[in-house]
């Protein structure tokens, strides 16, 4: 049986594409305008046609012609429009609605209208669910004949060793598609760091140096192993800026071996950005360790062409492949059964 076909919009470095492939999809096309992400994507997904372009300047008809796809034929159109405008930090700073990228959800909708896939999957930050743009998106999808299932799910419940709450929307043409099956148990930092083989430990991604002052090095050394925090040091030994701040208590905290990690963000190699210190070593987690916690394989290539911190941002922005795989397996069942009759839920469980 042929593999169902998918297109990945806003593909980033390829986390969504990898998850789809692991679930048995053939990803035929991708759109991404960041050169660093495109370099990384192409190195890992060589057979996918990639448009390195702002999606606002790309017509769906061009994509369909190049991929030889007619309207209604594509099995899955998936993507994660840039979400910085809806992030928790952005909304805390009062900037919601000011980021023009917020309207890229409508570019996603434009492609849905033109291609009319059998299934649509969109992933984003939880805050988008309460935004008028998302409500408008859902309304338009329903008018196009899609039945929608959406909710905020925690990736930690789906085999990802990380607390990461994400909004996911799955819309089937004419039927409700359930979410993927949760994992039987939560996976831990220890389990995934054990996946680092000798080759991965020797790669540049794992061995980039840190530039810390002696004062910060001393502070890190004193933080208790396996889940310790700067708060364990008492006020006298904390930095002045930390004494003045009652929030952001995960800053300069260590991960715990037998727990999931915090959300991996673009600041994952900076201890001042969250609980990103290694459980026992006196450093932050490495880029390779961050990618492992995102469930990328140890051999997955990430470009360092622009240096350490842009690569960290790229890894932090990625979709965890394992989370996507579990959702995509359910979608694949629908696609394979859609030629006959698909027995799904008769109502939207998210409403």
Which residue numbers are catalytic?
83
At 275, give phi and psi (nearest 5°): -85, 70
What's the residue count for the chain? 351
Between the CA of residue 8 and those of 18, 20, 77, 78, what are the distances in Å? 10, 9, 6, 5
104-115 vs 132-143: helix crossing angle, rounded to 10: 10
DSSP 158: G
Can you tell me the distance from the alpha carbon of 315 to that of 301, in angstroms, rounded to the nearest whole number?
Answer: 11
**Where do the H-state alpha helices sit in the chain?**
15-22, 35-44, 60-67, 88-92, 104-115, 132-143, 189-193, 198-202, 204-207, 214-222, 240-244, 287-293, 308-317, 321-337
What's the count of helices (H) and strands (E) in the chain, helices before strands? 14, 7
DSSP string, 214-267: HHHHHHHHHSPTTT--GGGG-GGGS-HHHHH--S-TTTT-BPPTTS-B----TT
């Amino acid at each position: 049986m042929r593999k169902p076909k998918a297109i990945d919009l806003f593909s980033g470095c390829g986390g969504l594409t990898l998850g789809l492939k692991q679930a048995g999809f053939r990803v035929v096309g991708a759109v991404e305008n960041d050169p660093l992400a495109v370099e990384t994507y192409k190195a890992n997904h060589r057979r996918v046609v990639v448009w390195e372009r702002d999606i606002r300047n790309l017509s769906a008809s061009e994509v369909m012609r190049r991929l030889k796809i007619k309207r209604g034929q594509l099995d899955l159109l998936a993507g994660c429009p840039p979400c910085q405008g809806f992030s928790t930090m952005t909304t805390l700073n009062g900037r919601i609605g000011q980021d023009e990228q917020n309207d890229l959800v409508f570019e996603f909708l434009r492609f849905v209208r033109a291609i009319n896939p059998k299934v649509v999957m969109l992933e984003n930050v939880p805050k988008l669910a309460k935004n008028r743009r998302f409500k408008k998106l859902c309304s338009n999808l329903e008018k196009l004949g899609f039945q929608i299932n959406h909710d905020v799910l925690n990736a930690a419940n789906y085999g990802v060793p990380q607390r990461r709450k994400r909004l996911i929307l799955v819309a089937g043409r004419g039927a409700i598609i359930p979410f993927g099956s949760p994992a039987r148990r939560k996976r831990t930092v220890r389990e995934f760091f054990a996946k680092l083989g000798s080759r991965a430990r020797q790669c540049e991604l794992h061995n980039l140096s840190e530039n810390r002052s002696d004062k910060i090095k001393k502070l890190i050394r004193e933080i208790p192993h396996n889940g310790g925090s700067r708060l364990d040091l008492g006020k006298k030994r904390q930095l002045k800026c930390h004494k003045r701040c009652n929030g952001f208590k995960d800053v300069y905290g260590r991960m715990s071996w037998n727990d999931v990690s915090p959300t991996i963000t673009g600041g994952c190699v900076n201890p001042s950005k969250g609980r990103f210190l290694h459980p026992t070593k006196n450093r932050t987690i490495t880029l390779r360790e961050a990618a492992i916690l995102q469930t990328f394989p140890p051999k997955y290539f990430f470009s360092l062409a622009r240096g350490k911190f842009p690569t960290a941002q790229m890894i932090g922005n990625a979709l965890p492949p394992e989370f996507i795989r579990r959702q995509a397996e359910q979608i694949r069942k629908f696609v394979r059964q859609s030629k006959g009759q698909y027995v799904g839920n008769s109502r939207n469980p998210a409403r």
